[in-house]
Amino acid sequence: MLNIALPKGRLGDKVYDLFSSIGYDCAAIKEDNRKLVFENEKNGVRYLLVKPSDVAIYVEHGAADIGVVGKDTLLETTPDVYELLDLGLGKCRLAVAAKNGWQEDLSLPLRVATKYPHVAKAYYDAQSRQIEIIKLNGSIELAPILGLSDVIVDIVETGTTLKENDLSVFADVVPSSARLIANKASYQFNANEINTICSRIKEKL
């Protein structure tokens, strides 16, 4: 039985469709209910629906053998897992955004609001820029509007949210998309099956 951790939500639905198209279907998952575990014994597969930012934790600790997670989360949490495939789904980028017309004052440390403190720190460390990090968990766009921070480091997909809040991208940090990851120990014992999944998905991409 292979445990697959999927991120709850839109990305998870797309990823499930991908897995189902290569023969790992599990019809129950499409039913509208609050279950978090779905099993198809015939296919030897069990899907776990977890919070997107928790997928890597489940996989790293071996509760799931493989999983799908955004590169942004991998960069932030650096879990000890194999990153086997770039699925090309959920494409977005991590970017620095600020209020329209904002000018950087280089004489002061930069105040950065973000859900990604490690990524932000690494990005500014590389430029030797002193920053103050304000860790937020959501509605990051509010921070510069209220003067809580100068800029935000966040994921940008289409840019609509930024636009509607009178913000714009100041600099790109790194592109992101969904990645197939595997637990390092599980991989050893299920190498054939996991490799087969990888090559079948590759054909589909």
Partner 1 sequence: MEISLSRLPKEEQVTLTLGSVFEQRGYRRYQMSNFETYDMYLANKSFLESEGVITFTDASGRLMALKPDVTMSIVKNTKQNDTSNKLYYIESVFRSVEHGSNYREIPQMGVEYIGAKSAYAEAEVAELAVRSLEAISKDCILNISHMGFITGLLNSMNIPDDLRGDIVKSISGKNEHGVIAAASAAGCTEQQVQTLSGLVQLSGRFKSTLKKAENLVENDEMKTSLAALKSLYLALCEAKADDNVRLDFSIINDLDYYNGLIFRGYVKGVPHCVLSGGRYDKLMRRFSKPQCAVGFALYLDELGRAYADKRQYDVDTLLLYNENALSQTVMTAVQYLMKTVPSVRAETQLPQNLRFRRLLVLNEDGTVTEKEVVKC
Backbone angles phi, psi at 105, to 5 degrees: -100, 105
Rounded CA separation 113/116 (Å): 9
- Tell me how far, at minimum, the Cβ of 139 lies from partner 1, in Å: 26
- Which lies closer to partner 1 via its Cβ, residue 28 or residue 185? 185
- Tell me how far, at minimum, the Cβ of 63 lies from partner 1, in Å: 8
Cβ atoms within 10 A of the Cβ of 192, count?
8
Q: Are 59 and 181 in contact (CB under 8 A)?
A: yes
- Which lies closer to partner 1 via its Cβ, residue 9 or residue 62? 62
- Tell me how far, at minimum, the Cβ of 99 lies from partner 1, in Å: 32
- Which lies closer to partner 1 via its Cβ, residue 100 or residue 188? 188
- Tell me how far, at minimum, the Cβ of 147 lies from partner 1, in Å: 29
What residues make contact with partner 1 under the rule CB under 8 A? 60-62, 80-86, 182-189, 191
- Which lies closer to partner 1 via its Cβ, residue 13 or residue 83? 83
- Which lies closer to partner 1 via its Cβ, residue 161 or residue 190? 190
- Tell me how far, at minimum, the Cβ of 121 lies from partner 1, in Å: 13
Give the three-state DSSP class for 12. Answer: helix
Largest CA distance in the chain: 64
The H or E element that residue 20 is part of is: helix 10-21
Rounded CA separation 88/46 (Å): 23
